[in-house]
């Protein structure tokens, strides 16, 4: 049954999506050491648990633990309870672990499909916003609003750039120090804040009169520069399309336009606000614009997988437009209330877009989003795989041969 009146994906896009083959290279330093843990964990997962359901459970846990931190420190200046920081570290660890085994579960149950890749990256785009925000709250970065703005939007931009270079080259590339390493670093920050309290980052070191938080901040800047340089070098080297274009045959620089419609207004509204809406409500502000960035990133992933041109304008931009117009024309509405309207609009728009795209793909491939088909139909072939313990053990034994398929701890043999 179709629950939508107007399709977001054309028949041509759906056909190209069905033909899409995932390509990834990773030289992560931590992934090989984590493989035994992931292999053990997936062996304990019930066979009836759908891979996409594993992903969404991890995301919900990550979001809830971050929102607890936001509740206690909405301005990122109030010292959050130590238990909230430890809970946030646990939530991120659970998300990272579940995100790593969804593809393994797909192989165990013979339920791989392009939808799994899209669903995985979509959840990651949302998680990036919450992970970056939680790290800023854990070190009370609200006292330095410009730094907080830079750190959060830098994380969103780097995630977007990773998929931008994939749109250009056709291959998702992860370096030695990448997402897995960043996630465990942030877990470490939360653990330190949980043990010693967030105020530990405000301490000044003797002799150099520098706060402790300066060191992780500059380390993050250095890593960001290296990751950005890596993505830019791939983008400027030319794409796999005709005459060095993207997989969709468009300019390799074209994806910069949709994302600039997110970052530039966010910065202008922050700097021009007479009510200092960002400084007073940084968590709310980051979440609002973060959801817009997640929507644009999702559209880039869809454009790559369907080999389609990415549209520049998006309905999610109506949210930031409300803030911009209210500020520009000096309306009487308080910016705080408009910011809440912006967050609600972009969140609902993101959910609408994501759910409709998933439903259209499920409808086209004749698969289910959160259920494993009886008999474990293997998408894209005429073969069906009956899920038995013998098959499961065979898959687990073959896991070491598939290490090159992983990215940031997530198995990329994607699921339903």
Euclidean distance between CA atoms 152 and 80, whole angstroms: 19
What ranges in 329-399 are assigned the alpha helix state H? Answer: 335-365, 389-398
Give the CA count within 13 Å in the CB-facing half-sphere of 107: 20
**DSSP letters spanning 207-229:** TTTEETTHHHHHHHHHHHHHHHH
Q: Which of 20, 121, 281, 304 is catalytic?
A: 121
Active site (annotated) includes residue 163: no
Tokens of 301: 């992933």
CB neighbour list of residue 111: distance below 8 Å, 6 or more residues apart: 50, 51, 367, 372, 373, 376, 377, 378, 379, 415, 416
**Which residues are registered as beta bridge partners of 25?**
173
**203 CA to centre of own chain:** 32
CB neighbour list of residue 397: distance below 8 Å, 6 or more residues apart: none
CB–CB of 26/94 below 8 Å?
no
Active site residues: 121
């Amino acid at each position: 049954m179709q629950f939508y009146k107007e399709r977001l994906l054309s028949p041509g896009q759906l056909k190209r999506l069905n033909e899409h083959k995932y390509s990834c290279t990773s030289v992560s330093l931590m992934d090989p050491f984590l493989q035994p843990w992931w292999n053990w964990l997936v062996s304990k997962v019930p066979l009836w648990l759908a891979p996409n359901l594993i992903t969404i459970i991890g995301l919900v846990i990550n979001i809830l633990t971050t929102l607890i931190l936001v509740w206690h420190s909405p301005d990122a200046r109030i010292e959050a309870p130590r238990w909230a920081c430890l809970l946030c570290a646990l939530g991120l660890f659970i998300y990272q672990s579940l995100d790593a085994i969804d593809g393994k579960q797909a192989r165990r149950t013979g339920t791989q499909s392009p939808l799994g890749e899209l669903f995985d990256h979509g959840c990651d785009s949302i998680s990036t916003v919450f992970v970056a925000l939680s790290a800023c709250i854990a070190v009370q970065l609200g006292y330095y609003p410009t730094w907080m703005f830079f750190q959060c939007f830098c994380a969103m931009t780097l995630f977007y750039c990773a998929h931008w270079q994939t749109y250009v080259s056709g291959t998702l590339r992860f370096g030695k120090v990448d997402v897995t390493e960043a996630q465990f670093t942030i877990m470490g920050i939360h653990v330190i804040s949980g043990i010693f309290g967030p105020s530990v980052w405000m301490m000044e070191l003797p002799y150099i009169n520098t706060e402790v938080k300066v060191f992780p901040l500059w380390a993050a800047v250095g890593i960001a520069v290296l990751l950005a340089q890596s993505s830019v070098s791939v983008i400027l080297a030319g794409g796999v399309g005709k005459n060095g274009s993207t997989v969709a045959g468009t300019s390799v620089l074209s994806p910069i336009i949709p994302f600039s419609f997110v970052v530039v207004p966010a910065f202008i509204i922050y700097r021009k606000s007479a009510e200092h809406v960002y400084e007073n409500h940084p968590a709310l502000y980051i979440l609002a614009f973060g959801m817009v960035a997640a929507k644009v990133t999702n559209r880039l992933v869809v454009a790559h997988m369907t080999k389609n041109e990415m549209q520049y304008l998006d309905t999610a931009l109506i949210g930031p437009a409300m803030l911009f117009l209210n500020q520009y024309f000096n309306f009487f509405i308080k910016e705080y209330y408009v910011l809440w309207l912006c967050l609600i609009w972009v969140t609902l728009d993101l959910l609408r877009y994501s759910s409709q795209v998933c439903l259209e793909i499920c409808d086209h491939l004749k698969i289910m989003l959160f259920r494993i088909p009886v008999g474990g139909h293997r998408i894209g072939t005429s073969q069906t795989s009956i899920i038995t313990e013998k098959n499961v053990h065979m898959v687990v034994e073959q896991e070491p041969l598939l290490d090159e398929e992983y990215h940031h701890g997530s198995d990329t043999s994607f699921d339903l």
